[in-house]
Structure 1
Amino acid sequence: MLGILDIVFRSLAVYLFMIIAIRLTGKKELSQLNTTDVVLILLISNAVQNAMVGPDTSLIGGLVAASVLFLFNVLLKTFLFKNAKWRGILNQKPEILIHHGKLDFDMLSRLKITNEELQEAMREHGIERYRDVRLAMLEIDGNISIISNQDGMKQSVYKRKHPHKRLDIS
């Protein structure tokens, strides 16, 4: 029984560490994974495995660690849903990148969003020029949502890799 409790506590410690590490590295990293990000995730999962289960490499040890992670994740999400103060601490807030065609270079620099990434998001929303952007925001999930200045066209917020939607109001 002591071995299982050890796995429970180790798993919780690794989970909390990962939440803090992701929070500190920024939300942009969540939605825009490149090759180095995938490699990092694979290496981190391998690095923390032993930290969670210790010398216990049994099936039960792995299932206990996974169960603790799933259960704590559900509990944390429920807690954050009910507690706005803590939700504000753990979640980041949306950031304005472009307002009425004017880029916020300080914010883009702080968030480490490159010109290429911003232009890619604009193309995904069917916009060619910065001056055609009424509002571009980095959302809390790491996606960039854009609202166009073009009459008769509204852009909806969507996850990357989804086709963009146009609404023509006649």
Structure 2
Amino acid sequence: MQDLWQLSAPWWHFVLRGVVMYGLVTVLLRVSGKRAIGQFTPFDMILLILIGNAVQNGINGGDNSLTGAGIMAVTLIGLNYLVALGSARSQPFRHLVEGRPTLLAENGVVDQQALRRELVSHEDFLNAMRIAGCSEVAHIRRATLETNGHILIETRETTN
């Protein structure tokens, strides 16, 4: 019963491991692009599960105690809170963590290079247009890929 609570390393090892792995996974997710985060596919879910499994030993260092798990949970939730707080209070920090919106189209002209760079398929772009009630590319005033992965379409006023 004692083994359930006994740490295999000092408590601060768990905090340090959590901070390092949180930072690493955050950087990897940022590098993967906005679209990968905003639009989950079954493959994205598999990837997240495998990443969680891959970083597990890096976080807990092989420790299976309840105390270690509790320290890690508090550390990760605390880090997530600090990132959310920093993002809410500082625009430069928010841009660092979340990135910036990407212009995909403006004044009826679609930036095909931006679509490719952000991994937005033609079908996804057309779907965003349909959702926005935009029937033609020529009616687009501005289309942006937001940092949450959603495509926001602003239409021009059209005269009939």
* Range into which the TM-score falls when normalised by the shorter chain: 0.7 to 0.9
Does the CA contact (< 8 Å) of 2:108 and 2:140 recur in 1?
Answer: yes
- How far apart, in 1, do the equivalents of 2:119 and 2:147 lie? 15
The CA deviation string for residues 49-103 of structure 1, in whole angstroms up to 9 with x for no partner, is: 1111112112221121111001112122323433433333333111111112110
**TM-score normalised to structure 1 length:** 0.80
* CA apart distance, 1:31: 1.1
SS in 1 for 2:103: strand
- Confirm or deny that 1:28 pairs with 2:17: no
TM-align CA RMSD: 1.9
* CA apart distance, 1:7: 1.1
Percent of aligned positions with the same letter in both sequences? 29
- Confirm or deny that 1:119 pairs with 2:115: no
SS in 1 for 2:115: helix
Does the CA contact (< 8 Å) of 2:144 and 2:152 recur in 1?
Answer: yes
Give the stretch that moved more between structures: 35-44 or 100-109: 100-109
Q: Which amino acid aligns with 1:67?
A: V
Higher relative contact order (Cα pairs below 8 Å, separated by 6+ residues): 2
Aligned residues, how many? Answer: 152
The CA deviation string for residues 101-151 of structure 1, in whole angstroms up to 9 with x for no partner, is: 110112112112110111111122222321222211111221111112355
Q: Which residue of 2 aligns with 1:79?
A: 86
Higher helix share: 2
- Dislocated runs of 4+, deviation >6 Å: none
Q: State which of 129, 133, 150 in structure 2 corresponds to 1:143.
A: 150
Does the CA contact (< 8 Å) of 2:19 and 2:79 recur in 1?
Answer: yes
Query: What 5-or-longer segments of structure 1 have no aligned partner?
Result: 153-170
- How far apart, in 1, do the equivalents of 2:145 and 2:27 lie? 20
Query: What 5-or-longer segments of structure 2 have no aligned partner?
Result: 1-6
SS in 2 for 1:136: strand
- How far apart, in 1, do the equivalents of 2:119 and 2:66 lie? 41
